[in-house]
Amino acid sequence: MHYLDANATEPLRPEARAAIAAALDVTGNPSSVHGAGRAARRIMEDAREALAERFGGRPADLVFTSGGTEADALAIHALGAGRRIVIGATEHDAVRAAAPGAAIVPVDRAGVADLDALAALLADGPPAMVCLMLANNETGTLQPVAEAAALCRRHGARLHVDAVQAAGRIVVDLAALGADSLAISSHKLGGPAGAGALLLASDFSSISPLIAGGGQERGRRGGTPPVAVIAGFAAAALASGGAEALQQWRDEAEWVAVACGAVVCGAGASRLPNTTCVALPGVRADAQVIALDMAGIAVSAGAACSSGKVATSHVLAAMGLGPLAGQAIRVSLPWNAGPDDVGAFAAAYEHMVARLRNLSCCAGEVKARTDEGEGDQVGTQHENAMGRPDHAHPRRCPPRPLPLRGRGS
């Protein structure tokens, strides 16, 4: 199996596995005052320090949660209390569900938030709390968060940044972004599932909890923390980085899809180096996912937060992609991906498109669109990025996998 669904969850990093194994040998509740409790507490506080430093905050301002969803919900609960909530149109459901009735900041066709629209929303009405993600989970599109933070400051608004997909893949620094809070998640950066964090700017050190419980996390999040999971979270965060190296493999995968007639969703925007979202005109996303799965390639259709859920993506719909919103798959390379994975994807994708061309149910549409070069929508820019001239870009699927450049191929 070639696992190309890192934005759903990353493979566990060996550093995280080792840290978890070591921490599992420590018995103790970090709230206990005896030596065993203090040993567990030491592990947690070391993890807190490492994570705060890695993401540009102070250890005292980092609240451990169960994951990214809870960190987003806690931010909206605490920073948004009594305020108007404003969110980007492409936010994750973790934010959308915690902010029903929020005002929406529209995005352009590449998925980038319209800052003029944000400014207009902030100018119009009482103080707001804004949620803007750093990187989108479906397209990888990066948002102009620092600029949004400056706007928020000017209008007395608070800014929460969902950095769940960005953390570990690009530089994420709360202070440098000028935001008021940041959500991160362990399993999205190569740690185990079950932990996340809300990193707060110092002004918000004391926040009211969503879960009060026994007053853990300085009264900001009740419940006995999973010490071993948290140890793995911090070890993974420290080991993460260097995702830029994945970009060449991501570009190769994207090039193959475009050559087969696909459209890159989010082209033209700055994007995460590991992510591409490619729509194949006329072919349902779930059919593509199944075809690739049968060839041993794991990718997803839009956001895959609940198993079996295949709904048209609100992200791609907000980008104005019309029917393509139901025809796009996400390929997201994990930290340990390499040329073999991308070569296998290329072969499977080409085979899938060649088969579809021959099937009566959809051959007409796929053939017509790919022959027309529908994928060309983003072609020129993509080819420049790949260093290939326009005339070298085939309109049809290449007959066999592209030779992959670089490492071991």
Q: Catalytic residues, which ones?
A: 305
| Dist. CA 20–CA 192, nearest whole Å | 9
Decide whether 70 or 251 has the Cβ nearer to ligand PLP.
70
Q: Is 141 in the site for ligand PLP (CB under 6 A)?
A: no
Residue count of the chain: 409
Q: Is 133 in the site for ligand PLP (CB under 6 A)?
A: yes
Q: Is 165 in the site for ligand PLP (CB under 6 A)?
A: yes
Query: Nearest distance from residue 54's CB to ligand PLP, in Å?
Result: 17
């010490």: which residue's tokens? 227
Q: Which stretch binds ligand PLP (CB under 6 A): 158-166, 204-212, 238-246, 385-393?
A: 158-166
Q: Is 162 in the site for ligand PLP (CB under 6 A)?
A: yes
Choosing from 67, 111, 190, 226, the residue that interacts with ligand PLP (CB under 6 A) is: 67
On whether the CB atoms of residues 249 and 333 are closer than 8 A, the answer is: yes
Q: Which stretch binds ligand PLP (CB under 6 A): 104-112, 121-129, 162-170, 325-333?
A: 162-170
Contacts of 78 (CB under 8 A, 6+ apart): 204, 207, 208, 209, 210, 220
Output the CA torsion 13→18→24→29 (10° steps): -80
Q: Is 69 in the site for ligand PLP (CB under 6 A)?
A: yes
Query: Nearest distance from residue 20's CB to ligand PLP, in Å?
Result: 17
Q: Between 292 and 311, how does the x/- string for binding to ligand PLP read (CB under 6 A)? A: -------------x------
Decide whether 161 or 297 has the Cβ nearer to ligand PLP.
161
Q: Is 196 in the site for ligand PLP (CB under 6 A)?
A: yes
On whether the CB atoms of residues 122 and 157 are closer than 8 A, the answer is: yes
Q: Is 92 in the site for ligand PLP (CB under 6 A)?
A: yes
Q: Which stretch binds ligand PLP (CB under 6 A): 65-73, 173-181, 228-236, 267-275?
A: 65-73
Query: Nearest distance from residue 11's CB to ligand PLP, in Å?
Result: 15
φ/ψ bin of 396: left (φ > 0), alpha (ψ from -120 to 50), beta (otherwise): beta
Q: Which token pair is 15?
A: 């550093």
Q: Is 164 in the site for ligand PLP (CB under 6 A)?
A: yes
Choosing from 185, 275, 276, 370, the residue that interacts with ligand PLP (CB under 6 A) is: 185
Q: Is 313 in the site for ligand PLP (CB under 6 A)?
A: no
CB-based closest residue to ligand PLP: 68
Q: Which stretch binds ligand PLP (CB under 6 A): 37-45, 53-61, 157-165, 380-388?
A: 157-165
Q: Is 94 in the site for ligand PLP (CB under 6 A)?
A: yes
Residues that bind ligand PLP (CB under 6 A): 67-69, 72, 92, 94, 133, 137, 162, 164-165, 185, 196, 305
